[in-house]
Amino acid sequence: MSTPRHTWVRALRHSLRLQWRQAATWTAVFAVTGVGTAEAFKSAYPSAASRLALFRSVRDNYGLQGLYGVARRIDTVGGFTTWRITWMLGLLAGAWGLLSSTRILRGEEQDGRRELVLSGVITARGALLADAAALAALLIGSFVLYGTALVAVGLPVTGAFVVAGGTLAVGALFAGVGAVTSQLFADRRHALASAGALLGVSFLVRVAADGTRTLGWVRWITPLGWLENTRPFAGTNPAAGLPLLGGAVVFLAVASGLVVVRDLGSGLLVERDRIRVRARLLGGTVGFTVLTARGAVVAWSAGIGLYTFVLGLLTKDVTNVIRQQASVHSLLGRLGIASFTRPEDLLGLMFVFAALPIALFAVSQVSSAREEEASGRVDAILVRTVGRSRWMLTRLVASVVGVALVAVVSGVLAWAGAAMHDTGVPLPSMLTAAINCVPAAVLFLGVGAAAFGIVPRYAPGVGVGVVVVSYLLELVGALTKAPGWVLDLSAFHHVAPSPAAPVGVTAAVVMTTIGLAGVAIGTVAFRRRDVAAA
């Protein structure tokens, strides 16, 4: 049975409404990061001599190139911008693609809303293609806006749009991966975890290819290597990125074939007869909350811990490069590092950046609570003897504990990576640096909790939006010498780069207090309002 054209268009518009806010946020992150990096390079390296010195110090440093990629024409604004941020934005684009596709294709079905869509005349394949077309349109729009932003800051047109196109093509590829895993698994958690694991492996393979003298050929077998091989501003080769788009089409075709051979609400890899029910954590609210949250804690700990471990491995090499770059020291000073002579200085800067994913984990717990409410699962709990305040506070306390666990794991793995190269940084210092990120995450958790209590439908967007805006204020504001009062608006500005600098106890207490106040406001508001469906 074919899908009538007007029905397919309606499905497309519905999918666009579900995804456009997230797309706008990601696009803003790409554009602001690209523009800020280009402007920072102009400020830090104003002369040809300083840029040439940077290139010479990096070209033979395989540890540094393992993180950022091969240094091609980094003595130019375009080359440096591409080298510095493309690896990170490629990862973020991949995360966007798999988060969106698993949310629309598996999350909506898991919560029962897909059934309402398919109860009409649209087919399962038609609905999947409508969702894919909506995400493709948003990726194309992001490509145009990101490329235009790079051109506006002075980068050549061809190179700017190759950067933008390659980055968003990674998003399209992993959206296709997420579409396939959404057909294989019956719940979004497993679909997301398997797609995310492939993204992590792609990153590790790319690091291995760029961080050694003999494995450069491996770059051709990883999607992030294809992105790097487009070589914007250094003998541009856009054809190297074609496998990204081809892979996206192949995965979409596979997903559209699989969606018609499985039952609604099931996955092709479900093992019904082997599921064991473990009831030991189901005897109370606390145990049930731990049971539902532990998967997210493990996944985020693994992802952030992998990032800090790799940076720990590269600490000695990166420190040696930056120590020789006097022009970089002024930029580091704006981020709170007075001098840069020890591995501790780099590790302190690293944890200022690691505070971002830790904060995102915190607000993701608010999104999880909202999903429970919107799907109706929380109704089954609240109709029992569990009160609203108790459920809310239990979820939020578990979130704070989860944030602390994620931070501790990231600190331990950062220390392990640094210890492998004998940097001499003690474990207690790294644990202090990791825990130092927790107060800012608690603040954002409080903001998200308050939004959940007052405007529940917008709580996920509010939480993520506040984190992203705060981070961009700190990063771009510091690099562009923004006034002090502007930087003070960012919670990340008050995260001291420990162990390079002492922990700001006063700032930590203030941020924690604000977060707890948000928790109290959200709890009271949730107790007084109606349960809000999607």
Q: Is the pLDDT of residue 313 over 70?
A: yes
8 Å CB contact between 15 and 131: yes
Confidence at residue 183, expressed as pLDDT on a 0 to 100 scale: 93
Q: Quick one: CA torsion of 322, 327, 330, 331, rounded to 10 degrees?
A: -70
- For residues 192 and 325, membership in a common domain is answered with no
Confidence at residue 514, expressed as pLDDT on a 0 to 100 scale: 95
- For residues 201 and 291, membership in a common domain is answered with no
- For residues 43 and 91, membership in a common domain is answered with yes
Weakest mean pLDDT among 55-59, 206-210, 300-304: 55-59
Task: Give the mean model confidence (pLDDT) for residues 40-59.
Answer: 80
Question: Among residues 210, 239, 269, which one ends one of the domains?
Answer: 269
Confidence at residue 268, expressed as pLDDT on a 0 to 100 scale: 87
Q: Is the pLDDT of residue 274 over 60?
A: no
The beta-carbon contacts of 241-247 under 8 Å, at least 24 apart in sequence, are 241/162, 241/165, 241/166, 241/169, 244/166, 244/169, 244/170, 244/172, 244/173, 245/169, 245/172, 245/173, 247/173, 247/176, 247/223
Segments forming the whole domain that contains residue 404: 276-534
- For residues 4 and 123, membership in a common domain is answered with yes
- For residues 173 and 307, membership in a common domain is answered with no
- For residues 185 and 323, membership in a common domain is answered with no
Question: Among residues 269, 293, 328, which one ends one of the domains?
Answer: 269
Q: Is the pLDDT of residue 60 over 60?
A: yes
- For residues 185 and 74, membership in a common domain is answered with yes
Question: Among residues 247, 269, 291, which one ends one of the domains?
Answer: 269
The structure's pTM equals 0.77
- For residues 41 and 125, membership in a common domain is answered with yes
Confidence at residue 450, expressed as pLDDT on a 0 to 100 scale: 94
State the DSSP code for 377.
T
Q: Is the pLDDT of residue 270 over 80?
A: no
- For residues 353 and 251, membership in a common domain is answered with no
Mean pLDDT of the chain: 83
Q: Is the pLDDT of residue 521 over 60?
A: yes
Confidence at residue 334, expressed as pLDDT on a 0 to 100 scale: 52
Task: Give the mean model confidence (pLDDT) for residues 482-486.
Answer: 78
Sign of CA dihedral 186, 189, 195, 198: negative
Cα–Cα nearest to 155, from 241, 64, 35, 57? 35
Q: For residue 56, what are its two tokens?
A: 């010479």
> Is pLDDT larger for residue 230 or for residue 532?
230
> Is pLDDT larger for residue 352 or for residue 290?
352
Confidence at residue 393, expressed as pLDDT on a 0 to 100 scale: 87
Confidence at residue 318, expressed as pLDDT on a 0 to 100 scale: 67
- For residues 392 and 306, membership in a common domain is answered with yes
Q: Is the pLDDT of residue 118 over 70?
A: yes
Q: Is the pLDDT of residue 73 over 80?
A: yes
Weakest mean pLDDT among 92-96, 171-175, 283-287: 283-287
Cα–Cα nearest to 216, from 227, 203, 229? 229
Range with top average pLDDT, 13-22, 342-351, 433-442, 484-493? 433-442
Q: Is the pLDDT of residue 273 over 50?
A: no
Q: For residue 464, what are its two tokens?
A: 């993520």
Total structural domains in the chain? 2
Weakest mean pLDDT among 62-66, 135-139, 257-261, 481-485: 62-66
Q: Is the pLDDT of residue 271 over 70?
A: no
- For residues 100 and 138, membership in a common domain is answered with yes
- For residues 314 and 219, membership in a common domain is answered with no
- Geometric angle at alpha carbon 123, from 117 and 126, rounded to 5°: 95
Tell me the per-residue pLDDT of 215-259, one tens digit each, with 9 for 90 and over. Answer: 788 888 899 999 999 999 888 899 999 999 999 999 999 999 999
> Is pLDDT larger for residue 32 or for residue 212?
32
Weakest mean pLDDT among 399-408, 474-483, 521-530: 474-483
> Is pLDDT larger for residue 8 or for residue 131?
131
